[in-house]
């Protein structure tokens, strides 16, 4: 079961328990309320019955007083006949009223019995209703006896026996007191019955409270058990997952979680197992690759040592060749100078041109040797990188070339402020020296327009892009790739002096800085040399 479904089930259960407890409480409250209502209604009805019986007895007593006075008057000898007839009619009407009061009283007693019977519908109240019925039956018995005595006396008076003894009067008074006493007893019993009903209602209320609290506690315990069960079903696999993560963190990749639940944690555990298997596979592959890489690195180190050995041998070879070339070259140059100074006038024009060719050739070869030594030096020496203000560096190069710039009347412009770059100051100076010198040299012989050299820079995201642009003869597209090769020059640069090593030095330095260099040019439209220097250099 999903975690969300577990939580939803728990919430539904809690809501159900809350609903059941609420319903139980409402039912119990309804029972107590109904019981109290019944007690109140029945108690009020019984009190009305008692009041009605007392009221009827009071009216009967009044009628008895009237009939007693009528009997006294009828017993006299000097009562006129008309008065006697009137008194007898009054006695008959009194008897009719007494009969009605007796019937009303009997009806109230019956109503009281019905109320008591109605209150006795619960099993535990049968004894209580029996106790309440007993005084009511005594009231009924006293009422019957009192009514029978009064009817007998009224019948005697109406029949002409007008003599009432003191015993009769006393008997009637005793019956009245008995009825009153029984009514008082019945009232007391009703009050006790009411109190007992209230006590019983209180017991029901207490029982309802106990039932509600018990239901609440049982629901709370069940909810706690369910919550603990759900929490454990979530926390245990989470702890196992955390422990497995720690195991993987310390390098133990052979961890396999037990996937027992089909919830999100179970899915996560399964995914974790797959991840562990993949990592284990990757680790095995990585170890194999590391082993291969170690072997390759060993081979590379060996090749590096061999290359360093070859470079050293090459350096020795270059210096040896340079030394071996310079010795005969100095002799050739010396012989050329002797011929030029002592035998020039003895030679014809062709001989003089040959002597001049010997001198210039020796000078050119010497320059090539110097450039070759410079190239090997640039490749071999590693200077520390430092923060270099390119404005100051370019100004230094311009001052070194100031004679050539003024001699050729070149308008050299630094287009914008140049940045501060971390680089090899000495080697970067060689780069700008070669590029500016070439730009000045190839711009000066363009007769179509005034010589112009622009130096600028553009900041890119990860590098600075510098350029040196001239408006000289330009470089053909087919020559642009080979001008960076050593001793290689453009076909159209034959009339310009140079050895073809300068741009090779430029490429070597820029590549050593992790940048790149290229040309943008068209023949006759000038040339622009671009190179980049990364912003982050170690």
Structure tokens at 117: 């019977």
Residue 175: pLDDT band with limits 50, 70, 90: low
Annotate 34-78 with three-state secondary structure: HHHHHHHHHHHHHHHHHHHHHHHHHHHHHHHHHHHHHHHHHCCCC
Q: Convert the pLDDT of each residue in 48-79 to its tens digit.
A: 887 887 787 778 778 777 777 777 777 777 77
Structure tokens at 453: 């050299």
pLDDT of 498? 46
pLDDT of 393? 94
For residue 491, pLDDT over 60 is answered with no
SS3 225: helix
Could you tell me which of 111, 94, 1 has the C-alpha nearest to residue 52?
111
What is the average per-residue pLDDT within 367-395? 76
Residues 93 and 509: their CA atoms lie apart, in Å, by: 151
Ranking 102-116, 150-164, 212-226, 437-451 by mean pLDDT, the lowest is 150-164
Domains of the chain: 3-229 (1.20.120), 277-380 (1.10.287), 384-534 (3.30.565.10)
Ranking 4-8, 80-84, 503-507 by mean pLDDT, the lowest is 4-8
* More confident call, 281 vs 131: 281
* Helix, strand, coil percent content, the chain, rounded in steps of 5: 75, 10, 20
Strands 463-470 and 517-521: unpaired
Residue 3: pLDDT band with limits 50, 70, 90: low
pLDDT of 127? 45
Q: Are 102 and 147 in contact (CB under 8 A)?
A: yes
The pTM (predicted TM-score) of the whole model is 0.40
Torsion of CA 184, 187, 191, 196, to 10 degrees: 110
φ and ψ at 388, to 5 degrees? -120, 130
CA 60, 66, 67, 68 torsion: positive or negative?
Answer: positive
Measuring CA to CA, how many Å separate 334 from each of 355, 363, 369, 534?
11, 11, 18, 49
> What proportion of the chain, given as a percentage, has pLDDT over 70?
73
What is the average per-residue pLDDT within 143-154? 75
């Amino acid at each position: 079961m999903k975690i969300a479904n577990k939580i939803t089930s728990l919430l539904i259960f809690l809501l159900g328990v809350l609903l059941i407890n609420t319903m139980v409480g409402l039912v119990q409250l309804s029972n107590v309320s109904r019981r109290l209502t019944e007690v109140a209604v029945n108690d009020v009805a019984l009190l009305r019955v008692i009041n009605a019986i007392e009221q009827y007895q009071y009216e009967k007593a009044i009628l008895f007083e009237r009939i007693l006075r009528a009997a006294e008057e009828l017993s006299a000898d000097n009562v006129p006949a008309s008065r006697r007839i009137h008194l007898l009619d009054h006695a008959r009407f009194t008897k009719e009223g007494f009969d009605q009061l007796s019937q009303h009283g009997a009806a109230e007693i019956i109503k009281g019995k019905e109320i008591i019977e109605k209150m006795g519908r619960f099993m535990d109240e049968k004894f209580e209703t029996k106790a309440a019925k007993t005084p009511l039956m005594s009231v009924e018995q006293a009422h019957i006896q009192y009514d029978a005595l009064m009817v007998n006396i009224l019948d005697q008076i109406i029949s002409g026996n007008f003599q009432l003894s003191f015993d009769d009067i006393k008997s009637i008074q005793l019956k009245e007191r008995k009825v009153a006493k029984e009514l008082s007893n019945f009232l007391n019993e009703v009050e006790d019955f009411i109190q007992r009903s209230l006590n019983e209602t209180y017991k029901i209320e207490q029982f309802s409270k106990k039932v509600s609290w018990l239901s609440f506690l049982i629901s709370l315990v069940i909810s706690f058990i369910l919550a603990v069960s759900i929490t454990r079903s979530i926390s245990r696999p989470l702890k196992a997952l955390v422990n497995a993560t720690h195991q993987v963190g310390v390098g133990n990749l052979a961890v396999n979680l037990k996937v027992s639940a089909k919830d999100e944690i179970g899915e996560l555990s399964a995914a974790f197992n797959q991840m562990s298997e993949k990592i284990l596979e990757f680790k095995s592959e990585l170890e194999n690759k590391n082993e291969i890489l170690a072997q390759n690195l060993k081979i590379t180190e060996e090749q590096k040592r061999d290359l360093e050995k070859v470079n050293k041998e090459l350096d020795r070879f270059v210096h040896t060749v340079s030394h071996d070339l310079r010795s005969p070259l100095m002799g050739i140059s010396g012989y050329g100078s002797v011929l030029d100074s002592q035998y020039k006038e003895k030679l014809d024009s062709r001989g003089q041109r040959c002597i001049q060719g010997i001198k210039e050739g020796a000078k050119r070869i010497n320059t090539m040797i110097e450039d070759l030594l410079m190239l090997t030096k640039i490749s071999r020496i590693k200077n520390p990188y430092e923060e270099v203000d390119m404005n100051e560096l370019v100004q230094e190069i311009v001052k070194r070339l100031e004679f050539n710039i003024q001699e050729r009347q070149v308008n050299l412009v630094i287009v914008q402020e140049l940045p501060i770059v971390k680089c090899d100051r000495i080697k970067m100076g060689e780069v700008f020296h070669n590029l500016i010198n070439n730009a000045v040299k190839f711009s000066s012989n363009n007769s179509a327009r005034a010589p112009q050299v622009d130096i600028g820079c553009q900041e890119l995201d990860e590098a600075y892009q510098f350029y040196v642009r001239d408006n000289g003869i330009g470089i053909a597209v087919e020559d642009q790739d080979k001008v960076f090769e050593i001793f290689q020059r453009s076909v159209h640069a034959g009339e310009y002096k140079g050895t073809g090593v300068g741009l090779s030095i430029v490429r070597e330095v820029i590549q050593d800085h992790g940048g790149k260099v290229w040309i943008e040019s068209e023949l006759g439209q000038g040339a622009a040399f671009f190179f980049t220097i990364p912003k982050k250099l170690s």
